[in-house]
């Protein structure tokens, strides 16, 4: 684990009291380690700039409190919501980095996506990245309303 720590992935801005840090050796811990070593660290390396984590592992009470999906990858330590800072156009570069490193991921969701009139993704509020220990589905999607999700075309020109 080079750029991220387990603790860094166990956070909540709104419900800090519901945060739980999984113990070493648990499934959740191992999933977080896999997420960091095989997804977040390589993406961060490719991106070349710091990435902030707003949500990672969510124990059931925390997931419920934030309105997470009942089968969310966050429940198992397999997902992280990340962004680069205040420049939302930079978040698109996180997606580019994921594609650059070419790993088999479970989910890449452009959250709060904004497109220009030509259909190019120009910014998003944050990126949800998920990696499972196996059976990764390569879901490449976006949401603009945080309720409905749509396929993000690989051919979508991601502008810098």
DSSP 158: B
Tell me which residue has its CB nearest to Zn ion: 128
Cα separation of 14 and 30, whole Å?
Answer: 25
Integer-rounded Cα radius of gyration of the chain: 15
Q: Which is nearer to Zn ion, 81 or 106 (CB)?
A: 81
Q: Which of residues 87-126 bind Zn ion (CB under 5 A)?
A: none
Asked if 28 interacts with Zn ion (CB under 5 A), we say: no
Binding segment for Zn ion among 19-27, 28-36, 79-87, 150-158 (CB under 5 A)?
A: 79-87
DSSP 70: T
Asked if 128 interacts with Zn ion (CB under 5 A), we say: yes
60-61-66 Cα angle (round to 5): 100
Nearest to 32 by CA among 65, 70, 59: 59
Answer for which of 28, 81, 106, 107 binds Zn ion (CB under 5 A) is 81
Cα separation of 27 and 133, whole Å?
Answer: 10
CB of 81 to Zn ion, least distance (A): 4
CB of 22 to Zn ion, least distance (A): 17
Binding segment for Zn ion among 25-33, 39-47, 73-81, 85-93 (CB under 5 A)?
A: 73-81
Binding site for Zn ion (CB under 5 A): 81, 128
């Amino acid at each position: 684990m080079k750029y991220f720590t387990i603790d860094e992935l166990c956070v909540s801005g709104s419900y800090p009291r519901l945060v739980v840090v999984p113990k070493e050796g648990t499934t959740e811990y191992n999933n977080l380690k896999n997420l960091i070593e095989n997804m977040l660290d390589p993406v961060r390396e490719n991106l070349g700039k710091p990435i902030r984590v707003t949500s990672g592992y969510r124990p059931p009470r925390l997931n419920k409190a934030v309105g997470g999906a009942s089968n969310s990858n966050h429940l198992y330590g397999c997902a992280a919501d990340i962004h680069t800072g205040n420049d939302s156009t930079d978040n698109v570069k996180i997606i580019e980095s994921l594609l650059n490193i070419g790993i088999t991921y479970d989910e890449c969701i452009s959250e709060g996506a904004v497109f220009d009139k030509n259909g190019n993704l120009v910014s998003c509020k944050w990126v949800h990245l998920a990696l499972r220990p196996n059976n990764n589905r390569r879901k490449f999607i976006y949401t603009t309303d945080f309720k409905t999700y749509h396929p993000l075309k690989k051919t979508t020109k991601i502008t810098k």
